Structure 1
Amino acid sequence: MAEDARAAAATAGATVGFYAALPVARDFDAAVEADSTAPLPDDWVLGLADVVTSTRALEEGRYKAVNTAGAAVISAVSNALGTLAFPFVFTGDGAAFAVAPGDAGKAAEALAATVAWVGAELGLALRAAAVSVGAVRAAGADLRVARVAASENVDYAMFTGGGRDWAEREMKAGRLALPPAPAGARPDLSGLTCRFRPIAAAHGTVLSVIVKPVGDAASPGFVRACSDVLALARTAPRGGHPVPVGGPQHRWPPGGLDIEARLHRGLGRSLTESRLRTAARSAVHTFFLRTGLRAGGVVPADYRRQLVENSDFRKFDDGLMMTIDCPPATADAIAARLAAAEAEGVARHGLHRQGEALVTCIVPAAGRPDHVHFVDGAAGGYAVAAAMLKSKEAEPHPLPSVSAGTRGGRAG
């Protein structure tokens, strides 16, 4: 009996340490091409959420509110767990994450509280769900993960195996749902900020792209399509990075003053008071970042450099996602390559061109270099690209051509 208990404890410890033990790939493009993923343990839990009314909100120009709702999911869970060292992905109008069984309860509470907060403060309907990885596999899908470095200080998760997409479909169909939070529940959103104004395209267009496989993401044809798209993106200045050297321009008042005031409004505090406090904090923040003076352990030049390096403008979430700043000719070439992949029957895609990008940030503590920055297009970005992709789901697609299987590899 004691031996069984020791074995169970050892297994639990290995499960909790699973993500920390994964190797961190240093090159995003190579990670997409190689078999760099590991299966998540069956007892882990996948959590996910998205904005139900994102299309209407985007039509109303509420791009920052939609992005804030998605980032709030990650912020709330990370604060509940006391760390950002767990797999998560920001999808523009939502997010997904996976946690060890011992953290599942806290994560679910934080997620449910975020749903309530988004509805009350942002006026958006956020749906959410949680499901065990074992249940995902029982349904015939898989959930694998890898870690890819954005910089020496931050890495992001790559999900593959089809399990993330399966869970999202089940959630949208109403077959997966999270119980509502208790009345008055509020998530801890410390560190979440949306004060930057949109970043204008420096090279012609900000292109948001989503590429999903038809069938297996490990198929050579799909891997080749993703690799070709990434190669085309690399031809843009700075590899298409949409955040300028030195970071976004700092202006006062901040572009997201009202939203940020709602993010950090304490219980019993009026929105007017929170706006005043937020405006004052933003003025101080802007002063130091623009002058370069050090304060509270923060070196403005280091922070601006890390902001650029830590940005997640490329990701893999059961498919390739990226938001890049590129010349129109590069956007045209990417669109043509993806059209060819659709004609081959190996991929479907959605893309959206706009003139600006948005950055939403999670800064755990002043002076720490592991702050994370989520990038999306400023006029709908991933949400519009996803709508384009969804419109193709019911369309018949051709069988893969013989030439589509001429190259090996694995996506993610």
Structure 2
Amino acid sequence: MAEALHAFYDRIPLIDRFETVGDTARYVPLPDGWHVGVADVENSTRAIAAGGYKAVNMVGAAVIAATMNALKTRDYPFAFGGDGAAIAVPPEAAETAADALARVRRFARESLDLELRVALLSVEAIRAAGHDVRVARLGVSPHLSFALFSGGGVHWAEQELKAGRIALPEAADEAWPDLAGLSCRWEPIAARNGRILSLIAVPAPGAREADFAALVTRISEIAEAAPDRAVPVSAEKMVPKVFSSGLAIEARIARGSIRTALAYLKLAAFSAFVWVLFRNHWRFGGFDPDAYKDMSVVNSDFRKFDDGLRMTLDCNADVEARIRQALDAAQADGIADYGIHTQDAALMTCLVPSALTDDHMHFIDGAAGGYAQAAVALKGRIAARAEAA
């Protein structure tokens, strides 16, 4: 299983500049026989309104963690979407991935009171519907890369999932996902430059790939030139707490009220120990808290491409205005549709196979709706354009 993953994924050349991710000629078609998994939290806007977006993000990251642990490798294509996720696996891993998705669906409902829709379908089915799935890799550090998707197939599968035309059933009562390494202990990270901007931009119907790629480059250059490069995570803002708001959510990975209570106590004790290390800049064994925070910034997925541009940026009013101006012009020219949501802080959900290595990864979203709210704004713009036509 792992060999098939490495045979395809490892041979994909790394993209080292995010400004070029819109160039879909650099993406490799998913091999025949592969499967694409998609997941989406149903009524995520309702959960957000109730203050549950940290749990929503936890479920989206759980899809990636459960699949990673089931496949016993992190080297497979995946993308975090805030209130969901997308994955791709070879044919021999399809059954394993489907089981992992079904288990996360049960975890979401039973532990977090969230309804998670999940599905797995073949790339042949996607191509038969007139779409494709192509993959690239963005190198963010010598130890980590994130997958990028193009071709429209992932987006189409997500729409089919939301429409109820594809679905996997919930796992059996005794089934539970392996979510080792998944955590959400950091508090929301306050904006340094005024606001956290969650942005989604997708190609407009009939838009030329080259025009949309030029827009991606333009937005990326604006962000790159912004104060702090618009990166929403900073070592200075990563302040640990013993009893963080995410501790109770993470404890629910342990199934059952008694196990959850014991897990909470264990996590709190460990958090107190880690708090001492971070506060005093003390090393322990092979763990260096300052180096860990620095690598967390580098290994954050605050910008991505999955059939469209997604970014979570820390920016000031001028940078936001320039981004909006570029997007408005692109929409007027029939190049792109977009949605934006602003908030005061970013949210970080972590997947840490080991705190002693530098391949830990950090999924970034806005702390007050983020990508989910930006998607609502995007739908509104698309509907308005259709009505005007």
State the TM-score, normalized to the length of structure 2.
Answer: 0.95
Q: Tell me, yes or no, if structure 1 residue 323 matches structure 2 residue 312.
A: yes
1:209-263 CA-partner distances (Å, limit 9, x unpaired): 0000013675222122222111111221121100013561112222211101112
Secondary structure in 2 matching 1:145:
strand
CA 221–260 in structure 1, closer or farther in 2 if over 3 Å, else same: same
Partner Cα separation in structure 2 for residue 325 and residue 394 of structure 1: 28
Partner Cα separation in structure 1 for residue 3 and residue 284 of structure 2: 40
Structure 1 equivalent of residue 28 of structure 2: 38
Structure 2 equivalent of residue 212 of structure 1: 202
| Mean Cα deviation higher: 64-73 or 175-184 | 175-184
Among 173, 187, 190, the alignment partner of 2:180 is 190
Partner Cα separation in structure 2 for residue 218 and residue 16 of structure 1: 32
Q: Mark the structure with the bigger radius of gyration.
A: 1
Structure 2 equivalent of residue 402 of structure 1: none
Runs of 4+ in 1 over 6 A off after TM superposition: 12-15
Structure 1 equivalent of residue 48 of structure 2: 58
Partner amino acid, structure 1, of 2:82: G
Structure 1 equivalent of residue 134 of structure 2: 144
Deviation at 1:34, TM superposition (A): 6.0
Secondary structure in 1 matching 2:148:
strand
| Mean Cα deviation higher: 176-185 or 389-398 | 389-398
Structure 2 equivalent of residue 285 of structure 1: 274
Secondary structure in 2 matching 1:185:
coil
Assess if the C-alpha contact under 8 Å between 1:247 and 1:307 holds in 2. Answer: no
Secondary structure in 2 matching 1:55:
helix
Secondary structure in 2 matching 1:150:
strand
CA 15–43 in structure 1, closer or farther in 2 if over 3 Å, else same: farther
Structure 2 equivalent of residue 127 of structure 1: 117
Among 321, 324, 330, the alignment partner of 1:341 is 330
Assess if the C-alpha contact under 8 Å between 1:217 and 1:223 holds in 2. Answer: no
Unmatched 5+ stretches in structure 1:
1-11, 400-412
Structure 2 equivalent of residue 388 of structure 1: 377
Among 76, 79, 97, the alignment partner of 2:66 is 76
Structure 2 equivalent of residue 5 of structure 1: none
Partner amino acid, structure 2, of 1:239: R
Partner Cα separation in structure 2 for residue 177 and residue 212 of structure 1: 25
Partner amino acid, structure 2, of 1:386: A
Matches within 5 A, 1:208-247: 208-215=198-205, 219-246=209-236
- For the aligned residues, what is the CA RMSD? 2.0
Among 157, 160, 182, the alignment partner of 1:167 is 157
Secondary structure in 1 matching 2:170:
coil
Partner amino acid, structure 2, of 1:52: E
Q: Tell me, yes or no, if structure 1 residue 294 matches structure 2 residue 315.
A: no
Deviation at 1:16, TM superposition (A): 5.8
Assess if the C-alpha contact under 8 Å between 2:5 and 2:76 holds in 1. Answer: no
Q: Tell me, yes or no, if structure 1 residue 374 matches structure 2 residue 353.
A: no
Q: Tell me, yes or no, if structure 1 residue 118 matches structure 2 residue 141.
A: no
Partner Cα separation in structure 2 for residue 298 and residue 388 of structure 1: 42
| Mean Cα deviation higher: 22-31 or 108-117 | 22-31
| Mean Cα deviation higher: 137-146 or 27-36 | 27-36
Deviation at 1:293, TM superposition (A): 2.0
Secondary structure in 1 matching 2:147:
strand
Secondary structure in 1 matching 2:196:
strand
Deviation at 1:14, TM superposition (A): 6.3
| Mean Cα deviation higher: 388-397 or 53-62 | 388-397
Deviation at 1:146, TM superposition (A): 0.2
Structure 2 equivalent of residue 105 of structure 1: 95
Structure 1 equivalent of residue 343 of structure 2: 354
Deviation at 1:145, TM superposition (A): 0.5
Partner Cα separation in structure 2 for residue 15 and residue 273 of structure 1: 37
State the TM-score, normalized to the length of structure 1.
Answer: 0.90
